[in-house]
Amino acid sequence: MTEPDLLLTAIVPTPLKETYQALTDPAALRVWLAEHAEVDLPGRYEFWGRYTPDGAEPHQRVLHVDERTIRFAWTVDGVAATVQFELAEDEDGTLVTLTHSDLPSFEEVIADQAGARGALQTFWSLAIANLADYLAGRELTPMVDFTSSELRASVVIDAAPDEVFDSMIQPEVFRKWFGANVDIEPRLGGRFAMGGFDVDPGGAKFVEFEPGRKAALLFADGETTSWELDGSGGKTRLTMMHSGFDPDNPPYPGWAGWLGGIAGLRRYHELPGRHSIWRRVEIAGVPEGMLTVDQ
């Protein structure tokens, strides 16, 4: 295949054969990947629906299949790309490597010039996180509904609200579960910058900040990301919302990124010492040092 613009390698806790089954069983795909899926290899590998970018109809075409590899063409917004799953045995389970070619540039995604293709990087990060949780028998993180203009999701985390809140506002901890460098001033009016203040000196601003309860970040474009925490029985219901955007053009790439982060946040608190699934994360054009892999 052509040189990929995205490469993700993650460890999942199951043997190779069971992992391959999760990638090829349409019933499994309908749980962790897509609303609809139909598979009849070697001829058919399709997924579509509201949880898939440009997902009104299936747009995949099988290119190659063997006992460790599934490679297919996927056309999104009229642009064809090559996607590949490759499996390798590991002492901790199976390494799943996802590659995707012909993606829009990082600059196009940030400038909101990439259309549905702009969400593909974060779509796959969330999908692989859900694959790992599916194979571990854990609750999945909500997927992005690419047909909705309401960006809101709730998860239950097996940790107290104060612990969860602190892990969301302490930069050295945030980096571990989110997988990106960040600088945070944890106070009302404080700055928050993905990639750090060197990359984004102004950052977003905390316009709400109540430790253990809620916070809200106002970005330069007028959009707001907020989270609320409610505790019960030693657990936390975290509700995250994003607002202030054009409802005809929801910021799905960033929203998928937050949801993928929430998957990591849940694992950080619930699987201490082995929370990170990521072994390699490479995205073409992302500023050097912005991404982190905590092993």
Lowest-pLDDT range of 34-38, 194-198, 234-238: 194-198
Looking at the domain 1-145+250-295, which fold is it? Alpha-D-Glucose-1,6-Bisphosphate; Chain A, domain 4 (3.30.530)
At 287 the pLDDT is 83
- Give the pairing of strands 151-157 and 182-184: unpaired
Same fold: 1-145+250-295 with 151-249: yes
CA angle 267, 268, 269 (to 5 degrees): 90
Sign of CA pseudo-dihedral 201, 205, 210, 213: negative
Q: Which of 219, 213, 159 is nearest to 191 (CA)?
A: 219
Q: Which 3 state secondary structure label does DSSP give 230?
A: strand
Higher pLDDT among residues 290 and 235, named by residue: 235
**Closest Cα partner for 82 from 107, 99, 58, 104?**
99
- Quick one: which H or E segment has residue 134? helix 120-136
| In the predicted structure, residue 1 carries a pLDDT above the cut 60 | no
Rounded to the nearest angstrom, the gap between the alpha carbon of residue 286 and the centroid of all alpha carbons in its chain is 16
How far is the C-alpha of 208 from the C-alpha of 249, rounded, in Å?
25
CA 260 to CA 132: how far, in whole Å?
A: 12
Residues 6+ apart with CB under 8 A from 112: 118, 249, 251
Q: Which residue has the higher pLDDT, 106 or 124?
A: 124
- CB-hemisphere CA count at 13 Å for 150? 4
| Per-residue pLDDT band at 110 (split at 50, 70, 90) | confident
Domain spans in the chain, listed from the N-terminal domain onward: 1-145+250-295, 151-249
Residue that wins the pLDDT comparison between 224 and 109: 224
Sheet containing 278-283: which strands, arranged edge to edge? 60-65, 69-76, 79-90, 93-100, 6-12, 278-283
Per-residue pLDDT, 191: 97
Polymer length in residues for the chain: 295
Are 250 and 259 contacting, i.e. CB atoms less than 8 angstroms apart?
no
Residue, of 109 and 52, whose pLDDT is higher? 52
Predicted local distance difference test score (pLDDT) of residue 2: 65
**Which letter does DSSP use for residue 180 in this model?**
B
Which SS3 state, helix, strand or coil, does residue 119 take? helix
| Residue 25: pLDDT band with limits 50, 70, 90 | very high
Please answer whether residues 10 and 277 qualify as being in contact, where contact means their C-beta atoms are separated by less than 8 angstroms.
Answer: yes
pTM for the full model? Answer: 0.95
pLDDT of residue 295: 62
Residue 112 has pLDDT above 90, yes or no: no
pLDDT of residue 237: 98
Query: What is d(CA 132, CA 14) in angstroms, rounded to the nearest whole number?
Result: 9
Q: What confidence score (pLDDT) does residue 289 get?
A: 78
CA 94 to CA 139: how far, in whole Å? Answer: 20
Quote the distance between the C-alpha of residue 25 and its chain's center.
22
Q: Which residues contact 11 (CB under 8 A, 6 or more apart)?
A: 90, 92, 93, 94, 95, 96, 132, 277, 279
Superfamily (CATH H level) for 151-249: START domain (3.30.530.20)
